[in-house]
A and B are shown apart, each in its own frame.
Chain A
Amino acid sequence: MTLAPHAPAAPEPARPALTARALVVEFPVGRGQKVHAVSGVDLDLPAGRTLGILGESGCGKSTVGRALIQLPPPDSGTVRLGAEELTALGPEELRRARARIQIIMQDPVSALNPRRKVKDLVWEGPSIWGRAAADKDTEVDAILRAVGLDPETVRDRRPHELSGGQCQRVCIARALMLDPEVLICDEPVSSLDVSVQAQILNLLETTTRERGLSMVFIAHDVSVVKNISDEVMVMYLGKVCEVLPSDGMHLAAAHPYTRLLLASLPEAQRSGDGSPAHPGASAEPAVVAAELPSPLDPPSGCRFRTRCPLATDRCAAEAPGLREIAPGHRIACHHIESTRSLP
């Protein structure tokens, strides 16, 4: 069964829930060197929609997610949550604003305090914001039921008495407790078993729809990101290579790196009937070098050029900017015309 998109696609522009401009995050590593984790990322999340951020480890996708909630704040650039500019707020104002934007981490077990009971973990946010303890039991039970847990069984348990999937449901309950506008999910299913992954993905899908939540969904798995998102942003080594609508992205993707990600996907995940995603996709992807360059000293120009089969001198000299090639489809590549020939 297919759910309708969160908001009707036609009346654009939707009210932005979260906007980021020119985000830069760098980590000094001593001897004057620094890791260029995120180098100038723009991001737009319309209200009620889901934006997927896709990339391999080291591409800066998690750093972007953390910069959005100011953990830590970006070195430069702006983040706006609705009308409020998070990057310009003082500590107390930021603390208040953070209740409106919540994050769900990859490892649910380490995200929970092992010594606290589920009911206290879930009520932690409201208790900090001074909600009356009289409401605690009814509200905690309601939210636990909403995330598919049986309050009777789990209310008084501690995280070690729960499975990974149950812990992730508790984390989702914690995030929802404060009624946020934006949910950031950083690889929420990668530490879970295959059969449990689908449960959690379905829960996120129905929750965001029912509550009208906007979500940033960060993951490395193309088919997972495609399934949950309205729009997908592909990152490589701290920069955005491509932004495109998720519907039909496996056919429309034009950036050589996105094509490589799609070609690396096991056959079973490309399409249901086992046919290749692209005509002729069974051919080997023509990748020059396999290794991710060091983020300490990223390549000049286009950062993907060291692995790109289409790279020319221009790619080394000049960093490509994002250009719109179709409505809602932007790509940072000098050789857009040639990318269609790739597997």
Chain B
Amino acid sequence: MTSAPAPLLRATDVATVFRTPRGAMRAVDGVSLSLARGETLGIVGESGSGKSVLGRTLMGLITDGPGTSVTGSVLLGGKDVHALSPAGRRALWGTEVAMVFQDPMTSLNPVKKIGRHLSESVRLHLGLSRAASRERAVELLRQVGIPEPARRARQYPHELSGGMRQRVVIAMALACGPRLLIADEPTTALDVTVQKQILDLLQSLGEELEMATILISHDLGTIAGRTDRVAVMYAGRLVEHARTTEVFDNPEHPYSRALIASIPHLGLPPHTLLPAIEGRPPNLLNPPPGCRFAPRCRLATDLCTAQPPALTARAGDDTGGAVACHHPLGAAKEATV
């Protein structure tokens, strides 16, 4: 990830800590990543891995303040998101970076018509007139594949299906032509057949508008084949980070490998016992001192429980892939796991 001259997004050693009555919770703990223009990155992890908090921290929705501490830097198009004033951050939202959330209904105002959701932001950011903003709203709805966009613009959110609502939310995110779209579990609330349509839409829009995309998901299947790179998170840390095909074909981190192996796929005969990861993720209020995956890892040694592994280059990977493991699987993985 170093070849691009000026990355669109560069996050360095980002940590987001929530102060709770029971102690400091390090939801994101020292994550560094960068994203070039037009590139797609998948962030994958289980619930509690910090993937959504990372997404919000990158966007500047979670900032340093009472109860929360954000350290490290997030450079977006050359500007440090966390050094800006609130007004400065607001100016970035919509035009530089936009976000799509999991549940489309909570992103939409139930008493506002669809067209108003879209025309509002273009009037605010782009200064269009009422009539021009209405036209732009219909155009945006057409762009995200909504049939009869003019009629839909006059309807309320409850009159649309879940898939259509998520298209509207995507249209809202696109309204001011952001250069980075962060989609946090954009299809989790949708039916399987609709999921594919929404992911296809995000992919084609990304290519068409040359927009970089961060796709956050707990579902490896969603990420596979749809992103250039993937970052695997576990308990607030980045454990592996490489080209998507590399992670799926040759996972170096035992967690990545176990996660991929634990999903049933159609090639398995019925009644196959899945290689499950025993145990559960650690409590982030009191994480284990060394590698956070060590208590569940079959390869763990004393070194793993004592000292956290640093992200180092993956063996034989010249594309900037990295893994944080004292015992990366490498070629010996068939024999050991």
Residue interface bits A231-265, CB-to-B below 8 A is 1, else 0: 00000000000000011011000000000111111
Alpha-carbon separation in the docked complex, A262 to B196 (Å): 11
> In the complex the two chains form, is A195's CB within 8 Å of B46's CB?
yes
Which of chain B's residues has its CB closest to A232's CB?
A: B270
> In the complex the two chains form, is A5's CB within 8 Å of B266's CB?
no
> In the complex the two chains form, is A264's CB within 8 Å of B268's CB?
no
> In the complex the two chains form, is A198's CB within 8 Å of B277's CB?
yes
Binding-face segment, A85-93, A120-128, A268-276: A268-276
> In the complex the two chains form, is B193's CB within 8 Å of A274's CB?
no
- Chain A hits for B334, CB < 8 A: none
Alpha-carbon separation in the docked complex, A36 to B266 (Å): 32
Q: Is A223 an interface residue (CB 8 A)?
A: yes
Binding-face segment, A104-112, A176-184, A201-209, A295-303: A201-209
Residue interface bits B4-27, CB-to-A below 8 A is 1, else 0: 000000000000000000000000
B contacts with A, residue count (CB < 8 A): 44
In the complex with contacts A264-B196, A291-B161, A223-B46 CB distance below 8 A? no
> In the complex the two chains form, is B265's CB within 8 Å of A268's CB?
yes
Give the one of A165, A193, A262, A263 with max B CB within 10 A.
A193
> In the complex the two chains form, is B270's CB within 8 Å of A246's CB?
yes
Residue interface bits A60-81, CB-to-B below 8 A is 1, else 0: 0000000000000000000000
Q: Is A227 an interface residue (CB 8 A)?
A: yes
CB contacts under 8 Å to A, within B245-301, are 248-249, 258-260, 262-278, 280-281
Q: Is A42 an interface residue (CB 8 A)?
A: no
Q: Is B318 an interface residue (CB 8 A)?
A: no
Q: How far is the CB of A247 from chain B (nearest CB, A)?
A: 5
> In the complex the two chains form, is B225's CB within 8 Å of A202's CB?
no
Alpha-carbon separation in the docked complex, A228 to B271 (Å): 5
Alpha-carbon separation in the docked complex, A163 to B48 (Å): 12
- Chain A hits for B258, CB < 8 A: 195
Tell me the dominant secondary structure on chain B's binding face.
loop
> In the complex the two chains form, is A205's CB within 8 Å of B271's CB?
yes
Contact pick for A195, options B192, B248, B266, B276, CB 8 Å = B276
Contact pick for A198, options B163, B192, B195, B274, CB 8 Å = B274
Which of chain A's residues has its CB closest to B192's CB?
A: A264
Q: How far is the CB of B23 from chain A (nearest CB, A)?
A: 18
Contact pick for A264, options B195, B264, B271, CB 8 Å = B195
Between A and B, how many residue pairs show CB distances below 8 Å? 149
> In the complex the two chains form, is A194's CB within 8 Å of B265's CB?
no
Which of chain B's residues has its CB closest to A231's CB?
A: B270
Q: Is B307 an interface residue (CB 8 A)?
A: no
Q: How far is the CB of A285 from chain B (nearest CB, A)?
A: 8
Give the one of A4, A5, A223, A229 with max B CB within 10 A.
A223
Leading 10 A-B pairs by shortest Cβ distance: A266-B221, A271-B267, A198-B276, A198-B262, A268-B224, A198-B274, A227-B264, A250-B266, A195-B277, A56-B191
CB<8 Å pairs between A and B, sample of 24 = A1-B272, A2-B269, A4-B271, A56-B193, A195-B258, A195-B259, A195-B276, A195-B280, A196-B280, A199-B277, A205-B271, A220-B192, A221-B192, A222-B266, A226-B264, A226-B268, A230-B270, A247-B269, A268-B220, A268-B263, A268-B265, A269-B221, A270-B266, A277-B266
Interface residues of chain B, those whose CB is within 8 Å of chain A, are 46-47, 161, 163-164, 191-197, 200, 218-222, 224-225, 248-249, 258-260, 262-278, 280-281
